[in-house]
Amino acid sequence: MSFALRDPIHDYIRVDDLEAKVLQSRALQRLRSVRQLGLANLVFPGAEHSRFGHVLGAMELAGRVYDSLAEKTPTLLENDARSPQRRNLRLAALLHDIGHAPFSHSSEELFEGGIEHEQMTARILELPDLADLFDGAQELSGEGVGLDPVRRILAGNGDATERLLSQIVSGELDADKMDYLLRDSHYCGVRYGNYDLGRLLETIVALQDPDSGNWALGIEEDGVHAFEALVLARYYMFTQVYFNLTGKVLELHLNEWLKENGVLWPRDAERFLAHDDLSVWSAMRDSTSEHARAILDRDHFVLAFETKEHLTKAERERFTSILETVGQQLEPGEILVSNSAKDPHRLGESGVPVRDADGGIRPMQEVSHFIRYLTRIDRFRVYSRSGRRKEIRALFRGLWPTHPSP
Q: Minimum distance between the CB of residue 405 and a second copy, rounded to whole angstroms?
A: 5
DSSP-assigned letter for residue 99:
T
Q: Does 353 bind a second copy (CB under 8 A)?
A: no
| Among 314, 332, 349, 403, contact with a second copy (rule: CB under 8 A) | 403
Please, what sign has the CA dihedral across residues 49, 55, 58, 60? negative
Query: What is the C-alpha separation between 311 and 319, in angstroms, rounded?
Result: 9
| Among 139, 143, 211, 297, contact with a second copy (rule: CB under 8 A) | 297
Q: Does 390 bind a second copy (CB under 8 A)?
A: no
| Among 134, 192, 215, 301, contact with a second copy (rule: CB under 8 A) | 192
In terms of DSSP bridges, do strands 353-355 and 215-220 run parallel, antiparallel, or are they unpaired?
parallel
Query: What is the C-alpha separation between 281 and 79, in angstroms, rounded?
Result: 46
DSSP-assigned letter for residue 179:
H
Query: What is the C-alpha separation between 102 and 212, in angstroms, rounded?
Result: 40
406 contact partners, CB below 8 Å, separation of at least 6: 239, 308, 309
Nearest CB to a second copy, comparing residues 113 and 198: 198
End-to-end CA distance of the chain: 53
| Among 356, 386, 390, 394, contact with a second copy (rule: CB under 8 A) | 356
Query: What is the C-alpha separation between 257 and 249, in angstroms, rounded?
Result: 12
Binding mask 36-75 for a second copy (x = CB under 8 A): -----x--xxx-xxx-xx--x-------------------
Which amino acid appears at position 381 of this protein? R
Query: What is the C-alpha separation between 367 and 302, in angstroms, rounded?
Result: 42
| Among 267, 362, 388, 389, contact with a second copy (rule: CB under 8 A) | 362
| Among 78, 109, 129, 196, contact with a second copy (rule: CB under 8 A) | 196
Instruction: Please give the size of the binding site for a second copy, defined by CB under 8 A.
Output: 66
Q: Which stretches of the chain bind a second copy, using CB under 8 A?
A: 4-9, 11-12, 24, 29, 32-33, 41, 44-46, 48-50, 52-53, 56, 186-192, 194-196, 198-199, 202, 221-222, 224-225, 229, 232, 236, 239-240, 278, 281-282, 296-298, 309-310, 356, 360, 362, 366-370, 373, 375, 403-406
